[in-house]
Amino acid sequence: MDNEQMAIRTTYFSIAGNTALALIKGLAGVFGNSYALIADAIESTTDIFSSILVLLGLRYASRPADENHPYGHGKIEPLITFMVVAFLVFSATVIAFESIENIQTPHRVPKYWTLYVLGAIILWKEMSFRYVMRRGKESGSSSLQADAWHHRSDAITSVTAFVGITTALIGGPGYENADDWAALLASAFILYNAYLIFRPALGEIMDEHVHDDLIEEIRLIASGVDGIEDTEKCYVRKSGMRYHIDLHAHVRGELTVRQGHDIAHRLQDELRRALPQLGQVLIHIEPA
């Protein structure tokens, strides 16, 4: 299975999981008198739409390069990530607003059984985060890694809800609002996670230099190609799940143009063989 197909299948997993959990949290929140669970359901609902966006983005990004997009369509990925961040900010704002309103409104203590529901949700969402994040790193998909953080933020909101409901149940009368304060705290965690997702996506759009490990690997591979004396400049920019390379390589100065050209192609082929995640590989030959 290639990286694109792996990322797309993982997104289907996120959509199915978020849909089921949104229903479970919503019903448990309504019948269990817990706004923290209802807030959790709101976030899971926005997660469904953000996962659908990720899926559409991944399908578009997997299109091959064409005349109008010689470097492929991968730049759609960080743009989709920005939209995922917008969903996170929106859900955090809604949760914070509703929490403040509920804090000012008297209501009943949540039901004790909601803690069992939350415990199962926390376990599932943390496992989902680890699975989707692993797939995102394996495929090199920034939008899939952003989707993974949705699972982690969901787990965090569920933890705060668990603490809030526990406090309300132990404290009894006068502590009914602990559940709502927990939801308000969860909204702050969600906003912080939104920033963690936004920052690397911005770096990808701006072609930020963050690929030192890959550059070292490229130089090591180049040093083993017959005819390459040394390497100089090496620039890497990420587009979707592909890395486009500009590399300056030194060869002996007395070689003919054709010999230098052949060495450059050998280096190009070796890099693509060793690093299948590479896209365009431009080799600039210089005399040693």
pLDDT in tens, 240-255: 778 899 999 999 999 9
Helix (H) or strand (E) run with residue 68 in it = none
**pTM exceeding 0.75:** no
- Helices (DSSP H) in the chain: which residue ranges? 3-31, 35-61, 76-103, 114-139, 142-171, 178-205, 212-223, 257-274
Higher pLDDT, residue 126 or 183? 126
pLDDT in tens, 167-181: 888 887 777 778 778
CA separation, residue 212 to residues 86, 137, 216, 279 (Å):
30, 16, 6, 17
Return the pLDDT at 107.
67
pLDDT in tens, 34-93: 776 787 787 778 778 878 888 888 888 878 888 888 888 888 888 888 888 887 888 788
| pLDDT band at residue 217 using 50, 70 and 90 as cut-offs | very high
Question: End-to-end CA distance of the chain, in Å?
Answer: 41
Helix (H, G, I), strand (E, B), or coil: what is residue 260?
helix
CATH top class, domain 3-205: mainly alpha
Q: Is the pLDDT of residue 214 over 80?
A: yes
Give the span between the Cα atoms of 11 and 16, in whole angstroms.
9
- The mean per-residue pLDDT over the stretch 114-141 comes to 87
Return the pLDDT at 141.
77
- The mean per-residue pLDDT over the stretch 205-229 comes to 91
The correct CATH number of 212-287 out of 3.40.50.620, 3.30.70.1350, 3.20.20.70, 3.40.50.720 is 3.30.70.1350
- The mean per-residue pLDDT over the stretch 98-110 comes to 77
Domain range annotation of the chain? 3-205, 212-287
